[in-house]
Structure 1
Amino acid sequence: MIDFDRLEREAANFADRFKNADPFPYVIIDDFCHAEPLDALTAQIPSPEDGNINKSRDYVFAKNKFEKSNFRGLGEPFEEIYTDLMSDRFKTVLQQIVDAPVWVDPEFHGGGIHQGGEGSFLDMHVDFSHHPMNPGWFRDLNILLYLNKGWEPDHGGKLNLRHKHTGAATSVEPLFNRCVIMHTRDFTLHGYNKLNFPKGVYRRSIATYAYSPASEEAKGRSTTWFPEEASLVKKVLGKNWPKLVEMKGKLFGSATSRNQ
């Protein structure tokens, strides 16, 4: 399904764009997949109202957002995109683009099919730094493949990117068959504003996370929230969320690892 021939042919160009991007390293790759099989996949995504889809565990920092990490059994197109993302061919070209020894998480913890419904939003945040089940894996990249046919600017839902320290910012339209590959660090803020999609229409993507070997001295980080246009209480809650997650994790284990 992935257009590997094009990715391999243009890998050096993508690598240059990734390295020199602002506000932090990321690259946009349009026409990431062959259109016809991706069309078939998109048509078969179950609606959250009809399918066995989990509600996001991001609580007050996200609204009407749904996730399904274990998506392979939904049909042949889903098995095909999974196989492509897990292939050595994709790993090789991904490593060329980002110049790092990365690999894709085969369990898609926290990733998979993401859907945002009516009024959905995702507050600005930096992602957790280590795999919930494999602490020796450092979360290096987000790989986001958008599946929004007929998206229009007034629908909202652009991917917002902002550097925590410099304040530099940009936004990316979540167009169908557009892939965004971006660094995940303690300064790579990202999220999306409240959606204005028609009722019954969802902001859809396949989210994939790539990892690299973690350095022994690196301290783990849970998702940290930086909500904008929020109450003081919500901003304080976002700042202290990692401590609350750590306490909850000690008592109940990783919620991310259970959200399949």
Structure 2
Amino acid sequence: MFNAWINQADELAHEFRAARPFPLLVLDDFLDTSTAEQLLEEFPAPDAMPKSRDYVFGNKHELSSVAEQGPTSRAFYDALMGEEFKQFISTLSGKDLFVDPDFHGGGFHQSGDGGFLDTHVDFNMHPLHPNWRRTLNVLLYLNKDWKPSYDGRLLIKASADEEPRAIEPLFNRGLIMVTDDHTYHGFKKMSLPPGVTRKSIATYAYELVPEGSMVARTTGWSPESAGPLKRVFARHYDAAVKVKTKLFGSATAHNR
């Protein structure tokens, strides 16, 4: 399923750690072509996917139940859970990592016309496992015949006010990137023709840490084009989520 990169972890680890603005690896031809094509065929329609929980900070749909969408999706899920991929990401990062089997916050992601995701840093601890520290994001883009005019580039930077690096969301392109307090990323509002959507599959890798050794926080939003109310909401988002969780608890699955 994976192409030759899966056997080149030691070599690619140097490229990963030297990347800018933070450690990352762009892998074109992430999967063999037939698998990527079949994954695209099994990709859910937007109306079959719940709206994300990004509130005013994003406009996209998510569905975490990757393994349930068809035989190729199941095989892809199993490959991400397998020992071969675990060894690759552990060698790449220099840490003992594993992929979240529930794809909490991940899975199929899709945005149509007007879709966007404000600049942010990701939550740092798994909401349901207080000793799981989120360490890597693994993204696979499935956008055939993607035109530059669509934009949808992932904009990444190491501080909120620096110029970003742009990564095109091209078909069968994988991206493995560190996620921490300084890995800002997002994409601007898109103008897409009917029937065209920005598609990706996201999963997250974790490392075990002593429970209580880190202060858990939710997604940290840093919207670049926002009015005063949205900026205030962004500043107080973490506190608002903690109050909501205390009152109502944390969902056991994220937009399945």
TM-score with structure 1 setting the length: 0.94
Number of the residue aligned with 2:51? 55
Number of the residue aligned with 1:127? 122
Matches within 5 A, 1:180-191: 180-191=175-186
Q: Is the 8 A contact 1:118 1:198 kept in 2?
A: yes
1-structure distance, mates of 2:150, 2:42: 22
Number of the residue aligned with 2:79? 84
Number of the residue aligned with 1:141? 136
Number of the residue aligned with 2:2? 2
1-structure distance, mates of 2:16, 2:254: 32
1-structure distance, mates of 2:253, 2:228: 30
Matches within 5 A, 1:55-74: 55-63=51-59, 65-74=60-69
Q: After superposing the two structures, state which structure 1 stretch, 38-47 or 158-167, moved more.
A: 158-167
Change (3 A) 1:56 1:256: farther
Q: Post-superposition shift, 1:167?
A: 2.4
Q: Is the 8 A contact 1:142 1:208 kept in 2?
A: yes
Letter matched to residue 147 of structure 1: L
Structural RMSD (CA): 1.4
> Where in structure 2 are there 5+ consecutive unaligned residues?
none
How many aligned residue pairs are there?
255
Change (3 A) 1:73 1:217: closer
2-structure distance, mates of 1:255, 1:238: 21
Change (3 A) 1:257 1:132: farther
Number of the residue aligned with 1:251? 247
Q: Is the 8 A contact 1:156 1:197 kept in 2?
A: no
Number of the residue aligned with 2:104? 109
Q: Post-superposition shift, 1:128?
A: 0.5
Q: Post-superposition shift, 1:259?
A: 2.0
Q: Post-superposition shift, 1:250?
A: 0.7
Letter matched to residue 242 of structure 1: D
1-structure distance, mates of 2:203, 2:254: 17
Q: Is the 8 A contact 1:22 1:169 kept in 2?
A: no
2-structure distance, mates of 1:46, 1:166: 36
Change (3 A) 1:132 1:257: farther
Q: Post-superposition shift, 1:134?
A: 0.6
Whether 2:230 is the aligned partner of 1:234: answer yes
1:36 paired residue among 34, 37, 42: 34
Q: Post-superposition shift, 1:253?
A: 1.5
Deviation string for 1:97-133 (max 9, x for gaps)?
1211111000000000000111100000011111111
Letter matched to residue 36 of structure 2: L
Q: Post-superposition shift, 1:166?
A: 7.4
Q: Is the 8 A contact 1:132 1:257 kept in 2?
A: no
TM-score with structure 2 setting the length: 0.95
Letter matched to residue 13 of structure 2: A
How many percent of aligned residue pairs carry the same amino acid? 43
2-structure distance, mates of 1:102, 1:149: 31
2-structure distance, mates of 1:222, 1:188: 14
> Where in structure 1 are there 5+ consecutive unaligned residues?
none
Change (3 A) 1:78 1:8: closer
Number of the residue aligned with 2:92? 97
Matches within 5 A, 1:148-159: 148-159=143-154
